[in-house]
């Protein structure tokens, strides 16, 4: 087992709403090892993005806050870190790649200015050095003609190019950890393949760890070492990638894997489905939330299912209905 | 076989204005010389990267865009230049499902009025009959009958798409153009909606033009698949043979780019460099050959690269840059 870079322990993040305090992330725990990629997968509203944004404390203010738990990054608890210190960590030691490359870049500034900012703020370079370092970064993410492109505004670039810039921004200060929230969802498959290869290559070169958030199980299978499956704000299963795909234990993980059409499923046949839909945050039960979706009212577990390790590194939320035989 | 829909040499160009006097300085060739047919009860999948013109083609077929050249015939009748009053009865036969159901459903209308509207427009039925039909439609797409007085924003994405489908099937059409109907939905909801679409097709004998960028979804639902690149169809074949034996280099690259949901699978990925060229100023020769900087590109400049049958029912653009030498010998 390699060295642990980030440890998340029983993290609870809640939002103040008109319906009271709602827990979007409910006791989530996982580790990220050095140089490895952890995938977080789940459907919309499962809390995967809120988990990621809690780690770097970029929650919508003033509604969102971390209620409990620890986020240990290189041994330091980020939950207790002051906003000033967080600013020094973000962009420097932890890089973030957001989903929408258009909104993640400032439309009013040339990309060179936005890239140099990282170097000016975190690395103490002067303007000229920062500008040259920015050109280097553009070369690294394989933007053609970087000396010319560096003077462009974001709207002058295509979606794929913009996402490369966002990756360059995240990588600029050689962070130890990259958090990528749906980095390729807005892109075409061919561009997605380019971007994923680029991220992987840079990660291997620099030994960076990554948290990759996506709803695409194909992307998970191709890029991750370990996977966390989230449902209703909780981790229902967590295991190494091969184990998740070949030996899933939780009914939700099994359902997700089965409901995707594969290239070899017979055409025009009915796909297996997960009935019902995700309940809204305020209607979630305390007990097993997947049982709630499956409408097992009578026999549903009233207690919160226990999150336990069933075989080395394979954790599941143990419920008599959703995880048979555990 | 009688075609339900046939499209011949369709061209749709959008003017680009510029300069001080906003004169037309060019055109976006969104759809450039496309021909295809759809048989009754068949699903034709249409795939391609964003900006390749697949949505424009879909919208032109239901006559939301006016084509610049070419011919669209529906049930043997030329509808390319049909007037609005002639189009209206046709809309009973041809419907559309849109990508984002939250935008394509009017938020100020209840489900009842959304589903009743097609009947009202076409002046069908009495109030009582329409109420019964609306209830039947809701039941058919798997929504509770209590939803008739709710508004679209009260539903989840998957349920909204079900309302969109109910509206499309209300008048028992023969063809539905589906523009990315499941791409905004979560995986588990996506399979529910796909199953519903398959069931409806079997029951009602619907034909679909299924436009999507998710190749696994398209393969699952389609009988035949057309691949578009920069306004042109580059390959069209039976779904199984297209996916098992793609001939065009672009199709091969597209298929190899799909992430496979199996970490143990080893695969060769054909990485494409660069982006799709601009349709305002497309390369003069093979568009994909240009992107690959193929040595034979010079040969294709100003040449027709017609879609040619390479095997029974398998059509591919006769492009020396994008076909293997043996395949090119077969089509040239």
Tell me the nearest-neighbour CA distance from A221 into chain B, angstroms: 5
- Distance (Å, rounded) from C-alpha A22 to C-alpha A15? 5
Nearest to B219 among A160, A267, A272 (CB): A267
The H-or-E segment that residue B54 falls in is helix B54-61
Domain CATH number, residue A217: 3.40.50.300
Q: What is the dihedral of CA B243, B245, B247, B248, to 10 degrees?
A: 20
Is B49 within 8 Å of A274 when comparing Cβ atoms?
Answer: no
Task: Say whether both A188 and A270 belong to one domain.
Answer: yes
Nearest to A215 among B158, B186, B223 (CB): B186
Answer whether residue A1 shows pLDDT above 60.
Answer: no
Chain A, 43 to 102: residues with Cβ < 8 Å from chain B are 43-44
Nearest to A216 by CA among A252, A249, A192, A246: A192
> Which pTM does this prediction carry?
0.88
Q: Which of B172, B201, B218 is the last residue of a domain?
A: B172
Residue A83: CB atoms within 10 Å: 7
Is B50 within 8 Å of A262 when comparing Cβ atoms?
Answer: no
The count of residues in chain B is: 332
pLDDT at site A314: 94
Is A193 within 8 Å of B269 when comparing Cβ atoms?
Answer: yes
Percent pLDDT > 90 in chain A is 49
Identify the bridge partners of residue A12 per DSSP, sorted by sequence position: A26, A68
Is B272 within 8 Å of A257 when comparing Cβ atoms?
Answer: no
- Report chain B's C-alpha Rg in angstroms: 21
Average pLDDT, chain A: 89
Task: Say whether both A16 and A137 belong to one domain.
Answer: no
* The pair of three-digit structure tokens given for residue B299, joined into one six-digit string: 């040969």
Task: Say whether both B168 and B195 belong to one domain.
Answer: no
Is A158 within 8 Å of B275 when comparing Cβ atoms?
Answer: yes
Identify the bridge partners of residue A211 per DSSP, sorted by sequence position: A38, A179
- Distance (Å, rounded) from C-alpha B205 to C-alpha B96? 16
Task: Say whether both B146 and B185 belong to one domain.
Answer: no
- Distance (Å, rounded) from C-alpha B208 to C-alpha A75? 57
Task: Say whether both A201 and A279 belong to one domain.
Answer: yes
Task: Say whether both B168 and B202 belong to one domain.
Answer: no
A chain contacts of residue B264, beta-carbon cutoff 8 Å: 242, 245-246
- Say yes or no: A265 contacts chain B, CB-CB below 8 A: yes
Tell me the nearest-neighbour CA distance from A212 into chain B, angstroms: 15
Query: Computed from CA positions of residues B122, B123, B127, B128, in that sequence, does the dihedral angle turn out positive or negative?
Result: negative
For residue range A307-318, what is the model confidence (pLDDT) as tens digits?
Answer: 989 999 999 999
* The pair of three-digit structure tokens given for residue A308, joined into one six-digit string: 């336990």
For residue range A178-192, what is the model confidence (pLDDT) as tens digits?
Answer: 999 988 877 788 888
Question: Per the structure, how many domains does chain A have?
Answer: 2
Is A221 within 8 Å of B216 when comparing Cβ atoms?
Answer: no
- Smallest CA–CA distance from A279 into chain B, residue: B156
Task: Say whether both B72 and B195 belong to one domain.
Answer: yes
pLDDT at site B207: 96
- Say yes or no: B11 contacts chain A, CB-CB below 8 A: no
Tell me the nearest-neighbour CA distance from A215 into chain B, angstroms: 8
Residue B133: CB atoms within 10 Å: 18
Three-class DSSP labels, A211-262: EEEECCHHHHHHHCCEEEEEECCEEEEEEEHHHHHHCCCCHHHHHHHHHCCC
Contact A126, A134 (CB under 8 A): no
Contact A23, A64 (CB under 8 A): no
Q: Which of A127, A156, A172 is the last residue of a domain?
A: A172
Establish if A323 belongs to a structural domain.
Answer: no
Chain B, 189 to 248: residues with Cβ < 8 Å from chain A are 189-192, 194-195, 198-199, 213, 215-217, 219-223, 239-240, 243
Chain A, 163 to 222: residues with Cβ < 8 Å from chain B are 188-194, 196-197, 215-222
Contact A120, A130 (CB under 8 A): yes
pLDDT at site B183: 84
- Distance (Å, rounded) from C-alpha A27 to C-alpha A315? 14
In terms of residue numbers, what domain contains A24?
4-93+173-318
- Smallest CA–CA distance from A196 into chain B, residue: B259
Q: How far is CA A289 from CA A28, A235, A301, B74, B126, in A?
A: 15, 11, 9, 49, 45
A chain contacts of residue B156, beta-carbon cutoff 8 Å: 277-278
Domain CATH number, residue B16: 3.40.50.300
Task: Say whether both A237 and A105 belong to one domain.
Answer: no
Is the backbone of residue A325 left (phi > 0), alpha (psi -120 to 50) or beta?
left
- Say yes or no: A161 contacts chain B, CB-CB below 8 A: yes
Q: How many CA atoms lie within 13 A of B150 on its CB side?
A: 14
Is the backbone of residue A150 left (phi > 0), alpha (psi -120 to 50) or beta?
alpha
pLDDT at site B266: 66
Find where tokens 């995986």 sit.
Answer: B187
Answer whether residue A43 shows pLDDT above 90.
Answer: no
Is B186 within 8 Å of A44 when comparing Cβ atoms?
Answer: yes
Is A43 within 8 Å of B216 when comparing Cβ atoms?
Answer: no
Q: Which of A124, A149, A172 is the last residue of a domain?
A: A172
Task: Say whether both A178 and A281 belong to one domain.
Answer: yes
Per-residue pLDDT band for A193 (boundaries 50, 70, 90) equals: confident
Nearest to B188 among A259, A261, A267 (CB): A259
Establish if A197 belongs to a structural domain.
Answer: yes
Tell me the nearest-neighbour CA distance from B186 into chain A, angstroms: 6
- Say yes or no: B275 contacts chain A, CB-CB below 8 A: yes
Q: Which residue has the higher pLDDT, A324 or A65?
A: A65
Exposure string (b/e) for B72-96, b if CB count within 10 Å is 16 or more? bbbbeeebbebeeeeeeebbbebbb
Tell me the nearest-neighbour CA distance from A280 into chain B, angstroms: 10
- Say yes or no: A158 contacts chain B, CB-CB below 8 A: yes
Task: Say whether both A155 and A179 belong to one domain.
Answer: no
Question: Per the structure, how many domains does chain B have?
Answer: 2
Eight-state DSSP code of residue A90: B
In terms of residue numbers, what domain contains B29?
5-93+173-331
Question: What are phi and psi for residue B264, nearest 5 degrees?
Answer: -85, -15
Is B223 within 8 Å of A215 when comparing Cβ atoms?
Answer: no
Contact A245, A257 (CB under 8 A): yes
B chain contacts of residue A270, beta-carbon cutoff 8 Å: 195, 198-199
Tell me the nearest-neighbour CA distance from B258 into chain A, angstroms: 6
Establish if B245 belongs to a structural domain.
Answer: yes
pLDDT at site A236: 95
- Distance (Å, rounded) from C-alpha A5 to C-alpha A188? 32
Establish if A324 belongs to a structural domain.
Answer: no
A chain contacts of residue B271, beta-carbon cutoff 8 Å: 193-194, 197
Residue segments in chain B with a per-residue pLDDT below the cut of 70: 1, 266-267, 274-275
Q: Which of A172, A197, A216 is the last residue of a domain?
A: A172
Establish if B99 belongs to a structural domain.
Answer: no
Task: Say whether both B75 and B141 belong to one domain.
Answer: no
- Report chain A's C-alpha Rg in angstroms: 21
Cβ burial of A287 (10 Å; 0-12, 13-18, 19+) is middle
- Distance (Å, rounded) from C-alpha B310 to C-alpha B142? 43
Is A161 within 8 Å of B275 when comparing Cβ atoms?
Answer: yes
- Distance (Å, rounded) from C-alpha A229 to C-alpha A39? 8
Contact B201, B43 (CB under 8 A): yes
- Smallest CA–CA distance from A253 into chain B, residue: B188
Strands B207-211 and B224-229, bridge-based pairing = unpaired
- Distance (Å, rounded) from C-alpha A107 to C-alpha A28? 35
pLDDT at site B83: 87
Three-class DSSP labels, B101-129: HHHHCCCCCEHHHHHHHHHHHCCCCCHHH
Answer whether residue A229 shows pLDDT above 90.
Answer: yes
ipTM, interface predicted TM-score of the complex = 0.82
């Amino acid at each position: 087992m390699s060295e642990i870079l980030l440890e998340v322990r029983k993290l609870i993040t809640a939002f103040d709403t008109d319906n009271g305090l709602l827990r979007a992330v409910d006791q989530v725990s996982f580790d990220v090892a050095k140089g490895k990629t952890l995938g977080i997968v789940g459907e919309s509203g499962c809390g995967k993005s809120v988990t990621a944004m809690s780690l770097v404390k970029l929650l919508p203010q003033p509604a969102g806050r971390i209620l409990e738990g620890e986020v240990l990054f290189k041994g330091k608890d980020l939950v207790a870190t002051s906003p000033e210190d967080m600013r020094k960590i973000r962009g420097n030691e932890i890089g973030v790649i957001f989903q929408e490359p258009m909104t993640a870049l400032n439309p009013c500034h040339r990309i060179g200015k936005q890239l140099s900012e990282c170097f000016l703020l975190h690395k103490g370079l002067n303007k000229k050095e920062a500008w040259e370092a920015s050109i280097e970064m553009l070369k690294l993410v394989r933007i053609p003609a970087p000396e010319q492109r560096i003077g462009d505004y974001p709207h002058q670039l295509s979606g794929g190019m913009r996402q490369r810039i966002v990756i360059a921004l995240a990588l600029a200060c050689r962070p130890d950890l990259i958090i990528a929230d749906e980095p390729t969802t807005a892109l075409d498959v061919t561009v997605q393949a380019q971007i994923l290869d680029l991220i992987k290559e840079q990660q291997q070169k620099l030994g960076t760890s990554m948290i990759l958030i996506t709803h695409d199980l194909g992307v998970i299978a191709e890029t991750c070492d370990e996977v966390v499956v989230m449902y209703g704000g909780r981790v229902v299963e967590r295991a190494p990638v091969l184990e998740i795909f070949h030996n899933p234990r939780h009914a939700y993980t099994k359902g997700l894997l089965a409901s995707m059409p594969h290239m070899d499923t017979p055409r025009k046949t009915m796909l297996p489905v997960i009935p019902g839909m995700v309940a809204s945050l305020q209607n979630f039960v305390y007990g097993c939330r997947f049982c709630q979706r499956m409408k097992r009212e009578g026999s549903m577990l009233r207690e919160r299912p226990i999150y336990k390790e069933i075989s080395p590194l394979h954790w599941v939320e143990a419920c008599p209905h959703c995880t048979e035989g555990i | 076989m009688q075609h339900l829909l046939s499209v011949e040499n369709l061209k749709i160009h959008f003017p680009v204005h510029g300069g001080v006097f906003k004169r037309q300085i060019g055109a976006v060739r969104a759809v450039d010389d496309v021909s295809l047919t759809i048989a009754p009860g068949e699903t034709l999948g249409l795939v391609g990267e964003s900006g390749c013109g697949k949505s424009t083609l879909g919208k032109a077929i239901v006559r939301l865009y006016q084509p610049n050249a070419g011919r669209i015939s529906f049930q043997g009748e030329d509808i390319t230049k049909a007037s609005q009053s002639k189009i209206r009865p046709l809309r009973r036969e041809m419907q559309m499902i849109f990508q984002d159901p939250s935008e394509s459903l009017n938020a100020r209308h209840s489900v009842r009025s959304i589903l009743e509207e097609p009947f009202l427009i076409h002046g069908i039925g009495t109030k009582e009959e329409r109420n019964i039909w609306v209830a039947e439609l809701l039941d058919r797409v798997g929504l509770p009958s209590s939803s008739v007085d709710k508004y679209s924003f009260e539903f989840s994405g998957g349920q909204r798409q079900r309302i969109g489908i109910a509206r499309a099937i209300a008048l028992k059409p023969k063809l539905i153009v589906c523009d990315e109907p499941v791409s905004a939905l979560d995986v588990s909801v996506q399979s529910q909606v796909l199953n519903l679409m398959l069931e409806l097709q079997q029951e009602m004998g619907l034909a679909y033009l299924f436009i999507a960028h998710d190749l696994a979804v398209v393969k699952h639902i389609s009988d035949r698949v057309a691949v578009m690149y920069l306004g042109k169809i580059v390959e069209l074949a039976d779904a199984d043979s297209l996916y098992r034996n793609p001939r065009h280099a672009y199709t091969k690259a597209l298929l190899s780019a799909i992430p496979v949901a199996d970490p143990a699978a080893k695969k060769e990925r054909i990485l494409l460099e660069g982006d799709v060229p601009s349709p305002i100023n497309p390369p003069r020769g093979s568009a994909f050959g240009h992107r690959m900087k193929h040595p034979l590109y010079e040969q294709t400049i100003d040449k027709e690269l017609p879609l040619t049958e390479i095997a029974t029912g398998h059509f591919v653009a006769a492009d020396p840059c994008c076909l293997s030498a043996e395949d090119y010998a077969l089509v040239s």
